[in-house]
Amino acid sequence: MLLRSVMRHFRNQEWTAIALDFAVVVIGILIAFQITTWNEQRQQHAREQQYLGRIAAELDNTILEIEDAISLTNERQALGEYLLRTVTDPELVSADPATFFGALIFSGYTFSPRIRSYAFDEMQSAGELNILRDRALRYDLTEFYTRVRGNAQWGYLRELGQTEYMKRSAGILTYEQQHAIAVARLESVAPESLPGLDVDAAIAAHDRMVARPDFIEWLPIVTMRLHELETYSTWLAKAHALRGRIYIGSNNVPATESVP
């Protein structure tokens, strides 16, 4: 109908009417384009909120994992230091055989926190990082996950340290003693109440330990965990900071951040 009207106005050389018809067409196109743009922005913002919600939940889990890693690392460092003290002070063993047995097994363990980044990785692989309107947050998330992955080799070295500890400590505890310690830990019972974990057994295990110089020389290596603690503390601070900057809702973009 609009086309017939334009043709009629053109045949009649009604230039004003033609201009009005042209303006109506242009305005209609602009309105349609703007509606399409608004709809795309709404969909994009909805996807942004979904991703941010998932990233926030993963950061919450990551924070708990790192806190557990710090707690376990402190515990195992203390156990390793205790074992080193028993080398020159065997009275510590008879005074607390349960701690000695536990230290022999657990002081060499290592723990790597699981840093979850499924949502961020999905955004990256889909080429949708740009839907995060906060450019600084986008950059800092990328840097955080890149740095964590860059520590993979360090984690591998820690695992090698644990493996070497297990090799060098083999035979200090009998299989029955190791099994009893595992049962005691699982069932939260006093180890000294179980067969084979009394004071005499602890003293005998200590004698076997000090007779293993290859094990004694490895103790300082697995006990020195300052690098682990510093790394985990740095990760924890950054994870907390990133989580604090994620706001789910319409006010996610800081006032100083422009929206592309």
Task: Evaluate whether 107 touches 83 at the Cβ level (below 8 Å).
Answer: yes
What is the C-alpha separation between 172 and 212, in angstroms, rounded?
Answer: 9
Mean pLDDT of the chain: 81
Q: Where are any strands of DSSP class E within 107-179? A: none
The answer on pLDDT for 38 being more than 70 is no
Decide which of 24 and 235 is more confident: 235
Mean of pLDDT values over 57-63? 95
For residue 31, which amino acid is it?
I
User: Residue 11 pLDDT more than 60?
Assistant: no
Model confidence, pTM: 0.76
254 in helix, strand or coil?
coil
Tokens 């709809």 locate to 39
* Phi, psi torsion values for 14, nearest 5 degrees: -90, 80
Torsion 182-185-188-190 (CA) sign:
positive
124 Cβ neighbours under 8 A, 6+ residues apart: 142
Do 162 and 106 touch, CB atoms closer than 8 A? Answer: no
Residue 7 has pLDDT above 70, yes or no: no
CB 228 within 8 A of CB 73: yes
| Token pair recorded at residue 35 | 């509606």
pLDDT of residue 256: 33
Q: Measured between alpha carbons, how far is 118 from 125 in angstroms, rounded to an integer?
A: 10
Going by C-alpha positions, the residue among 78, 111, 74, 108 that lies closest to residue 209 is 108
Summarize pLDDT for 81-107 with one digit per residue, the tens. Answer: 999 999 999 999 999 998 999 899 899
pLDDT of residue 162: 87
Cβ(186)–Cβ(162) under 8 Å? no
CA–CA separation, 156 vs 154, rounded Å?
Answer: 5
pLDDT of 91 reads 95
- Give pLDDT tens digits for 160-172: 888 899 999 999 9
By the 10 Å C-beta count (0-12 exposed, 13-18 middle, 19+ buried), 157 is classed as exposed
Q: What is the pLDDT of residues 168-227, one digit of tens each?
A: 999 999 888 888 888 777 776 666 566 678 889 999 999 999 999 999 999 998 888 988
Percentage of the chain beyond pLDDT 70 is 75
Q: Is the pLDDT of residue 259 over 80?
A: no
52: pLDDT strictly greater than 70: yes
Residue 252's pLDDT is what?
45
